[in-house]
Chain A
Amino acid sequence: MSLSEGALYACYRRMEKPLYNVLYRWLWQAQDCQDTVHDAFMRIWEKRASVDETKLDNLVWMTALNLARNRLRWRALWRFAEPVGDATATAEDDLLEAASRRQQDASLRAALVTLPSAMRQVLLLSEFGGLGIAEIAQVLGIPPGTVGSRKHQALARLRAQLKEEIP
């Protein structure tokens, strides 16, 4: 039971985008998200001798979510919890797109902040991580029924917050 470099890189290619999208809706900073994804894979690489490749995806999710939680705690500790904007996006996109992105981010962030943490995690993993109910249940260590009900409640609350029809 050991993780090969090839499997690690293949997993990175497969999971980078969903991971990034989940983390972005949690940390709201592109650089922090990229660092968290990177750190999660490096943590796993350091423990490669005991990593089961068949459970690699779950391990990546769990590690990344734990690291994101730690980052949020760290920010709260240093009072950096307020949004600081996203320099990467601003540099890359033109000004109108960046302004539009910030507005969307602000709306979604405001809505997500009102959700309890447990519901928010389920919603992000489901909507941005592309995980099914059974996979989320494994990653979070909760029963599939709980995942379903949390997702349903989270979507209902988000719908009310955004006052918009969400499919």
Chain B
Amino acid sequence: MNKIHSADWHEMLDPPVGGLARLIDAVEIAHASRSRWRPAVALVGASAAIVFCAVFGFAWQVHHNSPEYRFRHALEAALRPAAPAQGIQVENGAALEISSTDPNVRIYWIAQLPGAASKPREY
């Protein structure tokens, strides 16, 4: 093995020149690229938010216009305790008035809880 002198062993080398300039350039590029992408990122974010709102709004509208939803909504309204008099009251259930073309005929859709036995009561 080659011998080396103690002075050589401790010799401090000079780093290659241009290290600091390289770092300064890289930091500036990082700044520039961030400011360049910021509007694009904002635009993409805004577009995504608009699309989400549109899709969500459409789905909400479709859901609220569905016959199931409307019937359930009407049934819930009918089951409310303080509901105004509807001409018919069903114990353990609800009655939903369905429009009739004949003014002398009243049609009700009656739903009862399972197992409940009661008769329609007319007022």
Taking Cβ atoms with an 8 Å cutoff, the residues of A that contact B are: 5, 8-9, 12-13, 16-17, 20-21, 24, 30-31, 33-34, 37-38, 41-42, 45-46, 88, 103-104, 106-108, 110-111, 127-128, 161-167
Contacts and interface: CB of A to CB of B under 8 A. Distances in A.
Contact of A41 (B13, B15, B23): B23
B27 A45 contact: yes
Given A30-B16, A34-B16, A42 B3 contact: no
Contacts of B24: 9
A128 B10 CA distance: 7
A30 B15 CA distance: 8
Interface size class of B (residues with CB under 8 A): 20 to 34
Given A42-B27, A162-B1, 15 more contacts: A8-B27, A12-B23, A16-B19, A16-B20, A17-B14, A38-B23, A41-B23, A45-B27, A103-B4, A106-B2, A107-B2, A108-B4, A108-B9, A162-B3, A166-B6
Contacts of B27: 5, 8, 42, 45
Nearest to A48: B27
Contacts of B11: 104
Contacts of B105: none
Contacts of A108: 4, 9
B102 interface: no
A31 to B, nearest CB: 8
Given A20-B13, A21-B12, A128-B12, A164 B26 contact: no
B8 interface: yes
Interface of B: 1-6, 8-16, 19-20, 22-24, 26-27, 30
Contacts of B13: 20-21, 24
Contact of B12 (A17, A106, A163, A165): A17
